[in-house]
Structure 1
Amino acid sequence: MAPHQLRHLAGHLLTPLLMCAGMALAYLGAFHHPEPNHLKVAVVGETAQVKVLAQTMKDTAGDRLEVITLADRDAAVARLRDRDLAGAYVPDARQPELLVAKANSDTTAMAVQAVFGRITTEQNVPLRTTDITTLPAGDPTGQGIFFLLVALSIGSYGSVAAIGAAGAGSSMTIRVLCGLVTSLLVSIIGIVTAGPVFGVVDHDYAQIWAMGWLYSAGILLIGIGAHTFLKRWTTLTMMVLFVMLNFTTSGGIYRPELQNGFFGTLHSFWNGAGFVEGARSLLYFDGAAGFGGRIASLALWFAAGLALVAIAGLTEHRRAVANAPAEHGRHAAESAPESESTPSEAAEEEMEEAVGV
């Protein structure tokens, strides 16, 4: 194989190798060692023993736990429904109770069970766990929303490459319209499979569909706009934004209280977290617990996509205007008699054609 062929092959292999490295760093960095990180729990009661237990847990766990005390069980349930707690421990001499909200995060509930399970094991008493939420029959772990996110994301960022390749000669307006129609189709596929087909979503179908469309449209608009500037690197960029950083910070597998600070910070505003946490709030917590903020984050990502395609459209227009004189001169040279073309002019034309290809 000739050296230039090897360089050409290496250039094409660079993208998948970078994808491999990025996926390994993102997924292993986010998921390889989940442990509590400011996991907020409560001990219920006002006795001296309760306060001693809470303080002992604080001193022992350090930054791993945030331990508070609450007056009664009703207050603990209310805080769990507000998604402000990971779990609440209700002491009892014979059988203490642990309150969790598995719909908020099944893995977080398991982490809380492990924390208080060690305490009851030392006391040699059984621990009764009560889930205050009700999950649909089609999604007993509450992780189906995350897999819906995966489907919406792949359908969205995968379509960016198709629109960029097949619609390269079309105007920005046409490509944006194609993107919006595609996001509509992606969101319909998502709600149909998550709803009637598998029962992951068993109510509020219209709202979940609308959130899916807003999420998908934001990704498509960002991708269509980015393609003007990034060209062949658009796919890699989309994977970094909407797979590597998106899935790992969405809270679908582990929420921030089981991840390091980097992923936890991105969770507060990334669009995948906006969809997952917004859907959880709507489906399992009656639209409370930050639902409006999550919708706002999806709307802001959509607005960023609109701004990017507007900038890209303006850039393409300016490029077209700047290239117009050169194209006019090229066509004039091609229409001139062959005998009038000098060797240098022919060489320049050949170079222009090569660059155009």
Structure 2
Amino acid sequence: MATMDDGTRTTFLGEVKSAVSTRAALLVIGVLGLMAAFITSYTGAFHHPKPTDVPLAVVAPAQVSGELVRKLGQLPGSPLAPRAVPSEAAAVHQIENREIDAALIVEVSGSTDRLLVASGGGASLSQAVEAVVGAAEKAQQRTVRTVDVAPAAHGDGRSLSSFYLVVGWCVGGYLCAAILAISAGARPSNGQRAVIRLAVLALYAIAAGLVGAIIVGPVLDALPGSLFGLWGLGALTVFAVGATTLAFQGLLGIIGIGLAILVIVVLGNPSAGGAYPYPLLPPFWRAIGPALPPGAGTWAARSLAYFRGNAMTGPLLVLSAWAAGGALLTLTLAVFRSRREGSGGRPRRRARPAGRPPAPTD
């Protein structure tokens, strides 16, 4: 038993209920579930990476091309998705446009073939393809020499800088939105407040995109590519994540922040193709990755850095959809809530005429 300040006594259970409200207990349980999802998602995505259906071009004489493509396509576990390509120039063009991840060039005049890879798109994927093709070539009493046609920059270890850059932008986006919500209520009380929050978020996104691009570019020399291109990509990524977080908060209140973390961090980061590009991920993560902001941002950042901005239309559309959808939902929820409260959903205080004293209270 404990004694309160007014002299009354209360039980230990009463003290617990006073210290931890039911709402707080439910939030703690939700955090526990979020932690379990985090561990499951990251471990599930990364614990056993293996190549599956990696797009591979095969350049070989017509008399052997078909048979070679067939044999490579029938390797155990289906690590490769080979296709015949008429020339080395065509294969390089497809690599630069990110249509394929590697190309095997058969040298008819010798026993050593060449494997063209692009480590700028993911060093782990290039190494995995090299191991698979090397083993297949060895079985045919041939050797293979690897040529990197889009190598990662010297300061971009294992081509991870683009991934970490996008992760930083995403963190900044949902933290900014969370702060805007915590400062004056998770659900905007009216459309005007929602517009103001989105405007502040847009200004923040512009600044965050520039800061990130400068850090990985001129400051650290970690990522090549257009500074203005990365700036624009960063601004779009930050706003997309922030607007989505504001929308979730408008829908669910403070719980919306947890939902944003679930979508962006728990599901989005391990499926982004950063540490392990899509062909190395399990089917679930490979399927959702391109549709989430971290995956779209990482793909676009690598395209800007190493592939002359090719194959960016899809990722930019994904980011734009999250940005527009989040902003529209935020505004819609705020206006709906304002109208509901104004129409009797929550009583408003009537203005007291000037000079009249307030009514007495019980």
Please classify the TM superposition score into its range, dividing by the shorter chain length: 0.7 to 0.9
- Asked whether the equivalents of residues 72 and 136 of structure 2 are also in contact (C-alpha less than 8 Å), the reply is no
- The structure 2 residue matched to 1:274, chosen from 296, 311, 330, is 296
2:92 is aligned to 77
Matched, 1:246 2:298: no
1:106 is aligned to 123
| Cα shift at 1:330 | 11
Call closer, same or farther: CA 1:60–1:172 in 2, change over 3 Å.
closer
What are the superposed Cα offsets for residues 234-276 of structure 1, whole Å, 9 maximum, x if unpaired?
Answer: 2211111111221122222222212233222223332222222
Identity %: 23
What are the superposed Cα offsets for residues 46-73 of structure 1, whole Å, 9 maximum, x if unpaired?
Answer: 2544433322222233643212222332
2:50 is aligned to 35
2:7 is aligned to none
CA–CA separation in structure 2 for the residues paired with 1:253 and 1:281:
16
Matched, 1:167 2:167: no
The 5 Å alignment of 1:82-93 reads: 82-92=97-107, 93=110
| Cα shift at 1:103 | 1.3
CA–CA separation in structure 2 for the residues paired with 1:112 and 1:303:
38
What are the superposed Cα offsets for residues 219-248 of structure 1, whole Å, 9 maximum, x if unpaired?
Answer: 112222321221121221111111122112
- Asked whether the equivalents of residues 167 and 175 of structure 1 are also in contact (C-alpha less than 8 Å), the reply is no
- Asked whether the equivalents of residues 52 and 77 of structure 2 are also in contact (C-alpha less than 8 Å), the reply is no
Local SS of the residue matching 2:103:
strand
- With normalisation by structure 2, the TM-score equals 0.84
CA–CA separation in structure 1 for the residues paired with 2:38 and 2:265:
8
Call closer, same or farther: CA 1:80–1:196 in 2, change over 3 Å.
same
Local SS of the residue matching 2:348:
helix
2:328 is aligned to 307
Local SS of the residue matching 2:76:
helix
RMSD: 2.6
Runs of 4 or more off by more than 6 Å in structure 1? 329-332
CA–CA separation in structure 2 for the residues paired with 1:158 and 1:279:
21
Local SS of the residue matching 2:155:
coil
Matched, 1:210 2:232: yes
What are the superposed Cα offsets for residues 87-112 of structure 1, whole Å, 9 maximum, x if unpaired?
Answer: 12223443221111111221211111
One-letter amino acid of the structure 2 residue matched with residue 220 of structure 1: G
One-letter amino acid of the structure 1 residue matched with residue 44 of structure 2: G
Which blocks of at least 5 consecutive residues in structure 1 are unaligned? Answer: 342-357
- The structure 2 residue matched to 1:55, chosen from 70, 79, 84, is 70
Call closer, same or farther: CA 1:325–1:292 in 2, change over 3 Å.
closer
Matched, 1:185 2:202: no
Matched, 1:26 2:47: no
One-letter amino acid of the structure 2 residue matched with residue 147 of structure 1: Y
2:360 is aligned to 337
Local SS of the residue matching 2:153:
coil
Local SS of the residue matching 1:147:
helix
What are the superposed Cα offsets for residues 159-184 of structure 1, whole Å, 9 maximum, x if unpaired?
Answer: 22211111328722322222222222
Higher helix fraction: Structure 1 or Structure 2? 1
- Asked whether the equivalents of residues 166 and 237 of structure 2 are also in contact (C-alpha less than 8 Å), the reply is no
| Cα shift at 1:335 | 3.3
- Asked whether the equivalents of residues 153 and 216 of structure 1 are also in contact (C-alpha less than 8 Å), the reply is yes
2:158 is aligned to 141
One-letter amino acid of the structure 1 residue matched with residue 114 of structure 2: E
CA–CA separation in structure 1 for the residues paired with 2:75 and 2:229:
44
Higher mean C-alpha deviation, range 141-150 or range 268-277? 268-277
Matched, 1:66 2:81: yes
- With normalisation by structure 1, the TM-score equals 0.85
2:146 is aligned to 129
Matched, 1:152 2:169: yes
1:260 is aligned to 282
Call closer, same or farther: CA 1:250–1:32 in 2, change over 3 Å.
same
| Cα shift at 1:324 | 8.1
Call closer, same or farther: CA 1:174–1:117 in 2, change over 3 Å.
same
CA–CA separation in structure 1 for the residues paired with 2:45 and 2:69:
29
CA–CA separation in structure 2 for the residues paired with 1:322 and 1:269:
39
One-letter amino acid of the structure 1 residue matched with residue 297 of structure 2: F
One-letter amino acid of the structure 2 residue matched with residue 15 of structure 1: G
- The structure 2 residue matched to 1:298, chosen from 319, 332, 339, is 319
Local SS of the residue matching 2:104:
strand
- Asked whether the equivalents of residues 160 and 224 of structure 1 are also in contact (C-alpha less than 8 Å), the reply is yes
One-letter amino acid of the structure 1 residue matched with residue 195 of structure 2: T
Higher mean C-alpha deviation, range 54-63 or range 111-120? 54-63
- Asked whether the equivalents of residues 103 and 115 of structure 2 are also in contact (C-alpha less than 8 Å), the reply is yes
What are the superposed Cα offsets for residues 182-229 of structure 1, whole Å, 9 maximum, x if unpaired?
Answer: 222322321121112211233310111011101111111222232122
- Asked whether the equivalents of residues 56 and 101 of structure 2 are also in contact (C-alpha less than 8 Å), the reply is yes
Which blocks of at least 5 consecutive residues in structure 2 are unaligned? Answer: 1-11
| Cα shift at 1:297 | 2.0
Higher mean C-alpha deviation, range 199-208 or range 109-118? 199-208
Aligned residues: 337
Call closer, same or farther: CA 1:202–1:103 in 2, change over 3 Å.
closer
- Asked whether the equivalents of residues 249 and 263 of structure 1 are also in contact (C-alpha less than 8 Å), the reply is yes
CA–CA separation in structure 1 for the residues paired with 2:116 and 2:146:
6
